[in-house]
Amino acid sequence: MVTSRDVAQLAGVSQMTVSRVLQGSDKVAPETRERVLTAMKEAGYRPHAAARTMRTRRTSTVGVVVADITNPFYPQLLEAVGQALDAAGQRMVLWNAPAPGGESALRALDEGTVDGLIFTTVTEGSEQLADALRRGEPIALLHRGLDSLDCDQVTTDNIAGGRAVADYLVATGHTRIGFLRGPELPSTARHRERGFRDRLAELGRPLAEELTAQGGFAHDVARSAMRELLARENPPTAVFCANDLTALGAVDGAVSLDRRIPEDVWVIGYDDIAMTSWDSYDITTVRQPIAEMARTAVRLLLERVDDRSLPPRKKEFPSELIIRGSTAHTAPQ
């Protein structure tokens, strides 16, 4: 096995110089650093991870916490986070834990198994998370934020996204507008609903409660809810769904009743997961810039790992309405 002593001999430097290069020390001249790195590559040297962790007190590992890996949105988000971490020379460990959850991930952070954590499905109610943030632990929230927590957060403007859907449906002439809600706790569900409801009211088309139902962020729940809405005496002509998984269930619920999309009812989702662009669904949705959000969350977290005294940063990205076949490719008037 190639050792750091072998690299030192090949590069013509001391073993201490090799150690300094491995630690990223600025006490090594650029030309010397390059000579050592070249020697490592030629010799096929791989630093021992455990030994490096003991020297630097860093694991180069970041934990990512999700609550429902079966939701197609999260594998797409995790892929973007993994790419961003890989580009930064970090490894990713995944926890799939019901919200507020994440207790085992927080223990790993406290024990030094990971350098920091990214929570993607945080909700109110985790005292362990709040306590970790009070201690200044490196933690970032991605996708879902919480106003009650002072920490780095990366989200999209879900209120504006909901408002954009309301503008679109009113501009295209709909008066019987339905809504499949998300759960009460996630900030994403609450903000999308708030934006949608408030904007409809401002436009003089307040949301009729008999045309709303709980979609649950779940395909089977949304399928049943859509069937109930469409079975009513005066059903909606368009239904906004709180996320794309709900929209997929709504489409399947409509099809099960032989209702045509978009001829009989329009369906709109939120997130722009890959499945919504498939020909068999072709769902109009609100896009979140997932890759850019992931890169930003990783950058903020790694900056906090290096400097825990940084003030909390919050980054909110704009969303974008993507018009597809489930609304007949109809542009707003």
Residue 182 and residue 69: Cα distance in Å, rounded?
A: 17
The helix/strand/coil state of 18 is helix
Mean pLDDT of 143-147: 91
Model confidence, pTM: 0.82
Of 150, 143, 149, give the one whose Cα is nearest residue 188: 143
The residue with greater pLDDT, 46 or 43, is 43
pLDDT at 245: 97
Of 37-41, 226-230, 251-255, 278-282, the poorest mean pLDDT is in 37-41
Among all chains, which residue has been given the structure tokens 């722009």?
A: 272
Of 223, 314, 326, give the one whose Cα is nearest residue 270: 326
Peptide bond into 206 cis (omega under 30): no
pLDDT at 289: 96
Residue 127 and residue 289: Cα distance in Å, rounded?
A: 30
The helix/strand/coil state of 24 is coil
**Tokens (6 digits) for 327:** 């609304």
DSSP alpha helices (H): ranges in 23-179?
Answer: 30-43, 49-56, 73-87, 103-111, 127-134, 158-171
Of the chain, the end-to-end C-alpha distance in Å amounts to: 69
Of 243, 245, 267, 244, give the one whose Cα is nearest residue 255: 267
Q: How confident is the model at residue 50 (pLDDT cuts 50, 70, 90)?
A: very low
pLDDT at 54: 45
Among all chains, which residue has been given the structure tokens 């030309």?
A: 31
Mean pLDDT of 102-127: 88
CB atoms inside a 10 Å sphere around CB 207: 19
pLDDT at 124: 78
CB atoms inside a 10 Å sphere around CB 122: 27
Q: In whole numbers, what is the pLDDT of the chain averaged over residues?
A: 91
Mean pLDDT of 314-332: 95
Mean pLDDT of 272-298: 96
Asked whether the predicted pLDDT for residue 162 surpasses 90, the reply is yes
Determine what percent of the chain is predicted with pLDDT higher than 70.
Answer: 95
Domains and CATH numbers, the chain: 4-56 (1.10.260.40), 61-157+289-318 (3.40.50.2300), 158-288+321-327 (3.40.50.2300)
Residue 317 and residue 297: Cα distance in Å, rounded?
A: 12
Residue 224 and residue 276: Cα distance in Å, rounded?
A: 19
pLDDT at 165: 98
Mean pLDDT of 93-120: 88
**Tokens (6 digits) for 151:** 């920490």
pLDDT, tens digit (0-9, with 9 covering 90-100), for 167-219 = 999 999 999 999 999 998 899 999 999 999 999 999 999 999 999 999 999 99
